[in-house]
Chain A
Amino acid sequence: MARFLLKRTAFALITLVLLSMIVFATAQLLPGNVGRNVLGGFADQRSVDLLNHQLGVDRPVYVQYGRWVGHLVHGDLGQSLEYKVSVSSLLGPALLNSLKLAALAFVLVVPLSILGGIVAALRQARTTDRVITVGGLSLTAVPEFVTAIVLIVIFGVAFKVLPTTAQAPPGAGFFTQVEYLLLPAFALVAVLFGYIARITRAGVIEALDADYTRTAFLKGLDTPTILRRHVLRNALLPTIAVVATQTGYLIGGLVVIETLFNYPGIGQRILIAAQNKDFTMLEAGVLIVGIVYLAATLIADTLYSLLNPRIRYGAAD
């Protein structure tokens, strides 16, 4: 298992390096002169050149990349070109806000979709199954802001039971914060439900068809025990993998959802940075998103190997 995890960590690190290159290269594509963007159209050329030199953007790209990475590994994300304060002081709280929203969405979606997948599998090819499968598939396909609009109209406008913005008033307690985050979280849940439920359903169906399940039935075990000990243990492995890959999507969804609900999270920060051509902020924001995704994948791999004896005992690579 140690070898498996070591290999996965090494892969994640390679991916991270590649990712930093992609992020840096993409930011280089953004048009405009950095000094000119910061100082505005009326500044004279000499001060623009001077600022460009101070920022180091007049040097070759690979030198800039090296410097950027050097600062990154020391935990220095740089100064925001737009707000003239350190990027981490802006992205830190934003990331925390986003994690709150994402955590709520996950807490809701994981049990719901696993339950949905299990029910669909047990009622395979009957109406309940079709409703869950086709319904989930359809919800997954609808853009999250569209689902959110429908939810706002139902819960915020027609019944007026939930707030239509995501940001709770300052100093609000835990439950008030959760209440404000419910609608945006539901919108994310709607998109994620279909994927996770579908994978769970496939896993359960496969496990139900397996010889060991038939044996368990034939030796007279009761159904709940068979489900818990034989079916779910095997069926939930792929589910864990898909939950992790969905974090990448989840953060993309946050960009749109945070804009719709005017919620100050990392998605909104990235969007504003892109609009303002705030390179340092954009690079740092996108890189953090990538790191969160890689970390989630790594955690999933670890869980997977802990739960899967074939990997735990090193039988499979």
Chain B
Amino acid sequence: MSAITIPLQQSEARIARRETLRELGRSKTFIAGALIVGFWVFWGIVGSRLTPLDPLAQGDTILARPGPGHWMGTDTLGRDVLSRVLAGATGVLKIAPLATLLGVVGGTILGLVTGYFRGFVDEALGRLIDALLALPLIVIAVTAIVALGASNTTLVIVIGVIFTPLVARTVRAAVLAERDLDYVPAARLRGEHAPYIMFVEILPNVTGPIIVEATVRLGYAIFAIAGLTFLGFGIQPPSPDWSLQISQNYALLAGGSYWWTVLFPALAVATLVIGVNLVADGLTQVLER
């Protein structure tokens, strides 16, 4: 994103936006990612309403091999794996975007303030982030979730709060590049207040990095929720969540068969995160040149 020192005409802004969209439409990475994510968002919304069978209904044939009737087999309780895989997107697709939103809003405010004012708070925050980064995200999250009790709300808050300083760092870097451009001192000389300069003058010029950071964070949020759910600290049963299915059934793998109860949910998680990352990659290429 280039720094624009004169306010754009409405139509010019619209042309610029249309140009960005057209470039996104030409990016194969972005299109592929958007198709995958779109597929899962569709299933996340319709959930169990359109699945061939009820994802929670227990059947008589347990651990049936994939075949006609059960295209991905059945699990230890006779539930249809295909229906569970299709319905398994709902939980993570609700929690991950909310956690990302919390982290991006918090991080943007924090990044704007520290980047604009610099000084002691900025320095102290930098040290604190360094200390936090020495700990793996999953370790902090597990401890916090044990303290607060596992629930979807806790997940959103814990991941959102952990993301806040990380997003703040990206936003701060973008703000540092902007604050010395002519339009910022100009606004100051005009007598504008700091909040106005930060949110009305600088913020629109750093939306590119923020959008990219948000998509990257969304990928990490899904990654973290999947890991936490697998460990028993995330989404709770009886949800047909993918990671939950994996954690309930992976012990069967040691026996050397029954691979379908874990492989299909695993592939579902993999496609979703890869989709999100392809979108992020496409956005980065278009927005950050």
Which residues of A come within 8 Å of B, CB atoms?
11, 14-15, 18-19, 22-23, 26-27, 29-31, 134, 137-138, 140-147, 149-150, 152-153, 156-158, 160, 164-165, 245, 248-249, 251-253, 255-256, 259-260, 270-271, 274-275, 277, 282, 286, 289-290, 293-294
| A143 and B226 in contact, given A252-B136, A256-B138 (Cβ under 8 angstroms) | yes
Given A255-B231, A256-B230, the answer on whether A141 and B276 have CB atoms closer than 8 Å is yes
Residue of B nearest to A249 (CB): B136
Q: Contact between B139 and A146 (Cβ–Cβ < 8 Å)? A: no
One of A18, A158, A255, A260 near B142 (C-beta < 8 A): A255
Q: Is B184 an interface residue (CB 8 A)?
A: no
* A271 x B253 contact (CB < 8 A): no
Query: B263 an interface residue at 8 Å Cβ cutoff?
Result: yes
A289 with B135: in contact, given A26-B147, A141-B276 (CB under 8 Å)?
yes
- B134–A19 CB distance below 8 A: yes
Q: Which of A141, A251, A277 contacts B136 (CB 8 A)?
A: A251
Q: Across the interface, name the chain A residue whose C-beta is closest to B142.
A: A274
The answer to whether A286 touches B281 (Cβ under 8 A) is no
**Smallest beta-carbon distance A191→chain B, Å:** 9
Interface residues of B in 8-37 (CB under 8 A from A): 29
In the complex, chain B residues whose CB is within 8 Å of the CB of A260: 230, 250
> Which residues does chain A contribute within 8 Å of B277, judged by CB atoms?
137-138, 140-141
Extra inter-chain contacts (17) besides given A30-B143, A149-B263, A153-B263, CB under 8 Å: A18-B127, A18-B131, A26-B144, A145-B227, A146-B246, A149-B253, A150-B263, A153-B259, A248-B134, A252-B136, A255-B227, A256-B138, A260-B250, A277-B146, A286-B139, A289-B136, A294-B134
A290 to chain B, nearest CB (A): 4
Contacts of B227 in A (CB 8 A): 143-145, 255-256
**Which B residues lie within 8 Å of A290 (CB)?**
131, 134-135
Chain A, interface SS category: helix
Residues of B within 8 A of A29 (CB): 143-144, 147-148
Whether A270 lies near B134 (C-beta < 8 A) is no
The reply to whether the CB of B133 lies closer than 8 angstroms to some CB of chain A is: yes
Q: A134 CA to B227 CA in the complex, in Å?
A: 23
Residue B143 contacts which of A18, A153, A160, A286 (CB distance < 8 angstroms)? A286
Is B250 a contact of A149 with CB atoms below 8 Å?
A: yes
Residues of B within 8 A of A134 (CB): 29, 278, 281
If A141-B219, A157-B256, A164-B253 touch, whether A275 touches B135 (CB-CB below 8 Å) is: no
Q: B110 on the interface (CB 8 Å rule)? A: no
How far apart are the CA atoms of A88 and B190 in the complex, in Å?
63
Cβ–Cβ < 8 Å partners of A286 in chain B = 135, 139, 143
Binary contact track B251-265/A, C-beta < 8 Å → 1, others 0: 001101101001100
The number of residues on chain B lying at the interface, defined by a beta carbon within 8 Å of a beta carbon of chain A, is 48
User: How many angstroms between the C-alpha atoms of A23 and B281 in the bound complex?
Assistant: 35
| Residues B143 and A259 in contact, CB atoms below 8 Å apart | no
Q: Which residues of B contact A145 (CB under 8 A)?
A: 226-227, 230, 243, 246
Chain A residues whose C-beta falls within 8 Å of the C-beta of B77 in the assembled complex: none
Distance A31 CA – B127 CA, assembled complex (angstroms)? 28
Report the separation of the CA atoms of residues A149 and B102 in the bound assembly, to the nearest whole angstrom: 31
Known interface pairs A18-B128, A143-B269, A146-B266; A252-B138 also in contact (CB < 8 Å): yes
CA distance A314 to B130 in the complex (A): 25
A255 x B259 contact (CB < 8 A): no
B246 touches A22 (CB 8 A): no
Which A residues lie within 8 Å of B194 (CB)?
none
B132 within 8 A of A: yes
- Contact status of A19 and B131, CB under 8 A, knowing A26-B144, A255-B139: yes
- B276 surroundings in chain A (CB, below 8 A): 141
* Chain A residues in 8 Å Cβ range of B144: 26, 29
CA distance A251 to B142 in the complex (A): 14
Contacts of A140 in B (CB 8 A): 277
Residue of B nearest to A30 (CB): B147
Q: What are the residues of chain B within 8 A of A142 when measuring CB–CB?
A: 223, 269-270, 273-274
What are 23 residue pairs bridging A and B, where the CB atoms are less than 8 Å apart in the complex? Answer: A18-B128, A26-B144, A137-B281, A138-B277, A141-B273, A142-B223, A142-B274, A143-B269, A145-B226, A149-B266, A150-B266, A150-B267, A153-B263, A164-B254, A165-B254, A245-B133, A255-B139, A256-B231, A260-B230, A270-B142, A271-B142, A277-B146, A286-B135
